[in-house]
């Protein structure tokens, strides 16, 4: 069998998975009753009361998304891997999230497990991650997440 045909056949299930995926925006991860707590730029509204900034967000998840095949854009905060590939990372809606205090609410942070490893050079800009979304809380020293994504594919971000 020709090498190009074999490569096409091997990539077809993943490509079909990507085409069947529900494309989500970060606002889609927030239950309707909590959406008013975000501004028009989809950034959390903060309450500054004296010395400490507190978020007025509950951070609950949309349980009906559990088990969905999804495609979501975001920025990567590496957690596990080596100097070539990353196997676990946080996906966040804006650059610098989780590094600055306070972190986004749990429904705005996705813990991604990417067993095959994502090439590190592809992770500096916003990307799409495609996989199966689970409503599963993960506590990490950087943040608590409301969703877990079992990643199967990474694509270049296209804002069209």
Task: Report whether pLDDT(111) > 90.
Answer: yes
Residues 6+ apart with CB under 8 A from 157: 73, 125, 126, 127, 128
**148 closest CA partner among 67, 75, 84:** 67
Domain 3-156 sits in CATH at: 2.40.50.870
Q: What is the pLDDT of residue 124?
A: 74
Other C-beta atoms closer than 10 Å to the C-beta of 18 total: 17
> What distances in angstroms separate CA 155 from CA 20, 25, 97, 98, 137, one per listed residue?
14, 15, 21, 23, 25
Tell me the average pLDDT across 135-158. 91
Q: What is the pLDDT of residue 62?
A: 95
pLDDT tens string 62-83: 999 999 999 999 999 899 999 8
**31 closest CA partner among 54, 55, 56, 58:** 58
Task: Report whether pLDDT(148) > 90.
Answer: yes
Q: What is the pLDDT of residue 3?
A: 44
Going 110 to 115 to 120 to 126, the CA torsion angle's sign is negative
User: Hunting for tokens 């594919």 — which residue is that?
Assistant: 153
User: Could you give the maximum distance between any two Cα atoms of the chain, in Å?
Assistant: 70
Q: What is the pLDDT of residue 40?
A: 56
Specify which of 13-17, 94-98, 139-143 reaches the highest per-range mean pLDDT. 139-143
Bridge-partner residues for 103, per DSSP? Answer: none
| Domain chopping of the chain, boundaries | 3-156
């Amino acid at each position: 069998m020709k090498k190009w045909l074999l490569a096409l056949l091997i990539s077809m299930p993943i490509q079909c998975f990507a085409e069947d995926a529900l494309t989500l925006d970060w606002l889609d991860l927030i239950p309707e009753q909590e959406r008013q707590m975000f501004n028009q730029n989809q950034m959390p509204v903060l309450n500054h009361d004296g010395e400490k900034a507190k978020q007025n967000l509950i951070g609950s998840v949309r349980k009906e998304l559990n088990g969905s095949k999804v495609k979501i854009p975001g920025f990567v905060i590496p957690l596990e891997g080596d100097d070539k590939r990353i196997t676990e990372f946080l996906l966040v809606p804006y650059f610098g999230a989780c590094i600055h205090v306070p972190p986004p609410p749990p429904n705005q942070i996705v813990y991604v497990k990417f067993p095959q490893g994502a090439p590190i050079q592809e992770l500096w800009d916003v990307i799409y991650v495609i996989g199966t979304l689970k409503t599963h809380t993960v506590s990490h020293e950087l943040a608590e997440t409301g969703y877990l994504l079992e990643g199967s594919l990474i694509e270049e971000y296209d804002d069209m």
